[in-house]
Amino acid sequence: MASSLHQEQERAQESGKGNPGEIQRYDAVIIGAGVTGLYSLYRMRELGFSVRAFDHAGGVGGTWFWNRYPGCRFDSESYSYGYSFSEELLQEWDWKEHYSGQPENERYLNYVADKFDLRKDIQLNAHVDSAVFDQTENCWEISFEDGQKVLGQYLITSVGSLSDGYTPDFAGIESFKGATCHTSKWPKEGMDLVGKRVGVIGTGATGVQLITEIAKEVGHLTVFQRTANYCAPLRNGLIDDETQRKIKASYPEIFKKCSETPGSFMHEFDPRSAMEVSPEERQEQYERLWAEPGFKKWLSNFRDVMVPGEANEDYAEFVRNKIRERVNDPVVAEMLVPKDHMFGSKRLPCESGYYEVYNQDNVLLVDVREAPIERITPQGVKTKDAEYELDVIIFATGFDAVTGSLVKLDIQGEGGQTLKDKFANGPRTYMGISSAGFPNLFTINAASVGNFVRAAEPLVDWVSEAMCYVRDNEYMRISATPEAENAWVKHVNEDGAKILRTQANSWFVGANIPGKARALLTAPDTAPVMRAKRAQVAANGYEGFDLQ
């Protein structure tokens, strides 16, 4: 099947676009041209598969195409985030900052697309309407809003874990007379906020980055906060020439360290218990890490800081006091201090002057847990206690994570079953990659966690190698068995209940989306454990998969 599709594609390429109305066939169709989609395209093409990537954006980059809001940047080290598959690419690209901003990140991904000539196999502005599995032909028929259709033996969803922006259904939202925007759809030309009355709803990682930047130019800023977060200083800086040389000489060590850590980041936990050292030594470590850049204060801490218990609360209080020190008004400070969830149960937002914003005379913090938003009015935002007149409302209200972008694709498997219906009570997959009844579908975005590039590269490699196994052994299809899927879901639910990520109302469990079933949306396992599990499955002839 794969070789015949490849031959058909080669003939179609030789004759241009084929006959009018002819449906193009590929070995693999990739939905998404972001970080994971670009590497999927590169890897599968290198292995001899005919492949086409489609993206509804007007350019490549995925997350880094859409999220153009002021302050958007990496929270992991730039040099740990780039691709590792090409030594030449590693040596010729210079990261300008330790934590790179959106404009540079988008430039990087465009550079990759050009360097490896990926654009010829990418179609942009392509809005998927549905993807239906044809059981007779053992292939996927992908239909687009403009009437175009393509066929692919494999369907690869590289649509991002945090790509489906969520705006709450506020009453009166259409009545507002000013400008509105969700941060994930920030206009390329930007927004004129100078001197204006701006309201920001949401104080997660995105809101923290945005608020810090726009507070420098707005006339007045009203921040509507539902949940206070533990935020830590990013301590970003430019990369000088000497550091650049050291980074380029150290890539093998950098990637090796990332491969050994739970989330594929550059940081490893201190094996000691926080409660086994003296209070003085504990505080000394806390202070030392606080002065370090990035995630070190989160991921290089005592091992038991990242599990529920006494050590977690001890460090949480240390962070709360750091917040209190930076906010002049003690009442406002207490509003910014998180008290309803454990440190580390949500992804740690890194900031560069966030708390000092609230010392400005033109910034007002509104606690919408105490005074909920009742509606959006033509003039602004009305809470239970007051109405706030605004010129601009910005929704930093997060994402329908992991499964949101998947179920919106209207993916229909065997017997017409939809992925949306199947995932109604939480994801049902085997290792996040495959779902029973949906042959030749690889949900790559649902299996990536942590540092997405470091996690995505080995994941794409595994999927590509599975496709080679199917091709080389003359099978037509591969999908998870119901038994393997049931066992995996049981593992996610039972083991996931014990980890910190499931202890808060966060996107990790879908708690930010009304009506969404509460379930861990990613694996409860560390990245090294997941790689080992996938390797064992492959070594056992793709145990847990039905090959036909």
CB 445 within 8 A of CB 402: yes
What is the Cα–Cα distance from 200 to 226, expressed in whole angstroms? 11
C-beta atoms surrounding 441 within 10 Å: 24
What is the Cα–Cα distance from 220 to 362, expressed in whole angstroms? 5
In order of 53, 154, 190, 374, 535, the CA distances from 458 in angstroms are 19, 18, 36, 46, 10
Q: Which two tokens stand for residue 468?
A: 């080679």
**Residues ≥6 apart with Cβ < 8 Å to 449:** 161, 263, 455, 522, 523, 527
Q: Is the torsion defined by CA of 252, 257, 262, 263 positive or negative?
A: negative
pTM for the whole structure = 0.93
CB 455 within 8 A of CB 413: no
What is the Cα–Cα distance from 157 to 172, expressed in whole angstroms? 35
CB 14 within 8 A of CB 95: no
pLDDT in single tens digits along all 548 residues of the chain: 334 444 444 443 433 344 546 899 999 999 999 999 999 999 999 999 999 999 999 999 999 999 999 999 999 999 999 999 999 999 999 999 999 999 999 999 999 999 999 999 999 999 999 999 999 999 999 999 999 999 999 999 999 888 889 999 999 999 999 999 999 999 999 999 999 999 999 999 999 999 999 999 999 999 999 999 999 999 999 999 999 999 999 999 999 999 998 888 999 999 999 999 999 999 999 999 999 999 999 999 999 999 999 999 999 999 999 999 999 999 999 999 999 999 999 989 999 999 999 999 999 999 999 999 999 999 999 999 999 999 999 999 999 888 889 999 999 999 999 999 999 999 999 999 999 999 999 998 766 666 678 888 999 999 999 999 999 999 999 999 999 999 999 999 999 999 888 888 888 898 899 999 999 988 999 899 999 999 999 999 999 999 99
- Smallest CA-to-CA distance from 225 within 348, 338, 362 is with 338
Beta strand pairing call for 179-182 and 51-54 = unpaired
CB 491 within 8 A of CB 497: no
Q: Which two tokens stand for residue 61?
A: 């980059």
- CATH number for 2-60+118-164+401-547: choose from 2.40.10.10, 3.30.70.260, 3.40.50.720, 3.50.50.60: 3.50.50.60
Amino acid at site 532: A
Q: Which two tokens stand for residue 365?
A: 């913090």
CB 206 within 8 A of CB 69: yes
What is the Cα–Cα distance from 324 to 435, expressed in whole angstroms? 47
C-beta atoms surrounding 486 within 10 Å: 14
**Residues ≥6 apart with Cβ < 8 Å to 132:** 140, 141, 143, 412
Q: What are the extents of the domains in the chain?
A: 2-60+118-164+401-547, 205-240+249-395
C-beta atoms surrounding 366 within 10 Å: 20
